[in-house]
């Protein structure tokens, strides 16, 4: 996962400004440690910190069209780049094998409409030097982060993380998923408007085969890589299905021919945690090259300030779940792996959280899934992206494939309803779709394993340790406040006492002088 920064319409184009842009871009280098690029045209700067996954040899950014009149800096992956190249009507010369280079050529032919043609996860800024215009866009769900800010000099900035906008912006905000910003109109507009976005209740019958095929396609397209990769495997339903499908199809892909048909899988947890045990069982069943990482509660607590710095949120649940993922990502990167598949998004699509048991009807069930999917960029997508990117590792999420979302959100939500008396636990539609008696994807008890929160599955003492740590910190803070208050109160009383003493002395002096004056006046009168 790369880091991008764009500073546009700035008034200062000096060498000092260029140095400042480079300084801001360096704040994103953890996301892309492989190479740095900076393009300057007039009063515009486009910067890129690269994590090289597709075409590592020649895919450095920013990228250009044929005559270099269009330049783009991209964070993400365009999975349908080969089909998009084939769709171009005019002859184009490509300088690299990067999946992102096609954006510049697409814009040349289709203009701003090209953003709706993309299938992938992406945030990008594109500059058209022919008319000095520019656009910025973010993928439909917000898998990749993007922020926009307004500089103190009147410039407009875009960056992968907020830390690159600090100090140089009067204000900044999250760039909304599924939107495009155009300098020609001076505002944002939504380009991603699927049928489910209106939250109207769909009526398409549940089709297990269609759901399974859509998910398999989503996993396979994410095996597009020229570097070593793996799968995050917790042993729960979602990550296990990702791993199972990847293992089943890896031999058919370019990555499989390049890196072999044995997939690496990774799990993290406290010693003896539920996830470690379940993940090992799934790994043995699938035949992955499995590595498990252990961490202690204290190691997790020590990492929290750094976790918050990278994920840029104080949301309690996000921090709690990000910490193990943050620690695991560092270990994975140390093994030479640059990309992993992960299972985020399934619970939002299929109502996998335990509170969905209380849904009174299918209408409320569907509206809640819509709300959860729309907010993924604030929580699970943010966690998965920034926890891994902190160490130059890219996480890809097949459940949030655009076509798969259309299938999952387009079915009659009555099929998703939880009915335990009928044997339908949460996410039954997904479990049933992969319940193949002839060629099992997973063991039955794994396929129907009840959900664990990621931060629960890594070990229950992690949550208990966090609570104890938080209580201790709050208690010490309160004691410190009371200590300061006591010091202030003592100082206040001391000052008050001194003031009172001085007032008394002043009054006594005044009385003494008054007495002498009266005595002198009496003597004078005699």
Measured CA distances, 312 to 138, 396, 402, 437 (Å):
18, 20, 26, 45
Residue of 108, 101, 141 whose CA lies nearest to 124: 101
Query: Is 234 marked as binding a ligand?
Result: no
Per DSSP, the three-state class of 89 is coil
Per-residue tokens: 387: 């926890």
Cα distance between residue 494 and residue 286, in whole Å = 75
Residue of 258, 230, 256, 294 whose CA lies nearest to 458: 294
Catalytic residue among 2, 100, 169, 247: 2
Do 287 and 247 meet the contact criterion of CB atoms below 8 Å apart?
Answer: yes
Query: Is 99 marked as binding a ligand?
Result: yes
Residue of 105, 144, 89, 68 whose CA lies nearest to 344: 144
Helix axes 460-525, 297-311, angle to 10 degrees: 70
Query: Is 133 marked as binding a ligand?
Result: no
Q: What values do phi and psi take at 129, rounded to 5?
A: -75, -10
Do 287 and 474 meet the contact criterion of CB atoms below 8 Å apart?
Answer: no
Sheet containing strand 394-396, strands side by side: 289-294, 264-269, 229-232, 339-341, 394-396
Instruction: Please list the residues that pair with 48 across neighbouring strands.
Output: 4, 37
Q: Is 10 a catalytic residue?
A: no
Q: What values do phi and psi take at 34, rounded to 5?
A: -85, -35
Per DSSP, the three-state class of 311 is helix
Looking only at the bridges linking them, the beta strands covering 179-182 and 133-138 are antiparallel
Query: Is 276 marked as binding a ligand?
Result: no
Query: Is 211 marked as binding a ligand?
Result: no
Count the alpha carbons within 13 Å of 428 in the hemisphere toward its beta carbon: 17
Measured CA distances, 48 to 35, 134, 147, 152, 186 (Å):
8, 16, 15, 22, 24
Cα distance between residue 417 and residue 94, in whole Å = 49
Catalytic residues: 2
Known binding-site positions for L-glutamine: 99
Extract the annotated binding site for ATP: 232, 268, 342-343
Binding-site residues:
99, 232, 268, 342-343
């Amino acid at each position: 996962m790369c880091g991008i920064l764009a500073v546009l319409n700035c008034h200062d184009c000096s060498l000092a400004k260029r140095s400042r842009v480079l300084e801001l871009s360096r704040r994103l280098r953890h996301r892309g440690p492989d190479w740095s690029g900076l393009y300057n045209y007039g009063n515009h700067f486009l910067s890129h910190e690269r994590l090289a996954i597709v075409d590592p040899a020649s895919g450095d950014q920013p990228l250009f069209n044929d005559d270099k009149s269009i330049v783009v800096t991209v964070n993400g992956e365009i999975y349908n780049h080969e089909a998009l190249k084939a769709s171009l009507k005019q002859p184009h010369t490509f300088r690299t094998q990067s999946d992102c280079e096609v954006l510049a050529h697409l814009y040349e032919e289709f203009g701003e409409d090209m953003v709706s043609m993309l299938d992938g996860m992406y945030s990008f800024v594109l500059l058209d030097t022919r008319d000095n215009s520019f656009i910025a866009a973010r993928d439909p769900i917000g898998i990749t982060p993007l922020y926009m800010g307004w500089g103190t000099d009147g410039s407009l900035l875009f960056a992968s993380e907020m830390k690159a906008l600090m100090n140089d912006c009067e204000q900044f905000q999250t760039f909304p998923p599924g939107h495009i910003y155009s300098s020609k109109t001076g505002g944002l507009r939504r380009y991603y408007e699927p049928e489910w976005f209106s939250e109207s209740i769909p009526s398409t019958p549940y089709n297990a085969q269609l759901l399974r095929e859509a998910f398999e396609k989503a996993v396979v397209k994410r095996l597009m890589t020229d570097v070593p990769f793996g799968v995050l495997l917790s042993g729960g339903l979602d990550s296990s299905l990702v791993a199972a499908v990847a293992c089943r199809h890896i031999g058919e892909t370019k990555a499989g021919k390049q890196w072999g048909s044995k997939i690496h899988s990774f799990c993290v947890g406290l010693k003896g945690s539920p996830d470690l045990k379940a993940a090992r069982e799934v790994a043995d069943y699938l035949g992955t090259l499995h590595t498990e990482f252990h961490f202690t509660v204290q190691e997790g607590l020590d990492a929290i300030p750094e976790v918050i710095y990278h994920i840029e949120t104080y949301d309690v649940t996000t921090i709690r779940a990000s910490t193990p993922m943050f620690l695991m990502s560092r270990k994975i990167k140390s093994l030479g792996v640059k990309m992993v598949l992960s299972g985020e998004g399934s619970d939002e699509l299929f109502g996998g959280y335990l509170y969905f048991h209380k849904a009174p009807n299918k209408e409320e069930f569907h509206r809640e899934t819509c709300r959860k999917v729309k907010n993924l960029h604030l929580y699970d997508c943010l966690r998965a992206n920034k926890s891994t990117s902190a160490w130059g590792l890219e996480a890809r999420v097949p459940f949030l494939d655009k076509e798969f979302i259309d299938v999952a959100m387009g079915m009659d939500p009555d099929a998703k309803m939880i009915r335990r008396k009928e044997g339908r636990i949460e996410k039954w539609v997904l479990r049933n779709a992969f319940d193949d008696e002839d060629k099992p994807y997973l063991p039955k008890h794994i396929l129907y394993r009840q959900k664990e929160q990621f931060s629960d599955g890594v070990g229950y003492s992690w949550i208990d340790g966090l609570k104890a740590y938080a209580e201790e910190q709050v208690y010490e803070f309160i004691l410190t406040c009371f200590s300061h208050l006591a010091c202030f109160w003592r100082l206040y009383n001391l000052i008050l006492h001194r003031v009172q003493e001085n007032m008394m002395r002043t009054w006594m002096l005044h009385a003494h002088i008054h007495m002498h004056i009266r005595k002198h006046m009496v003597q004078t009168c005699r």
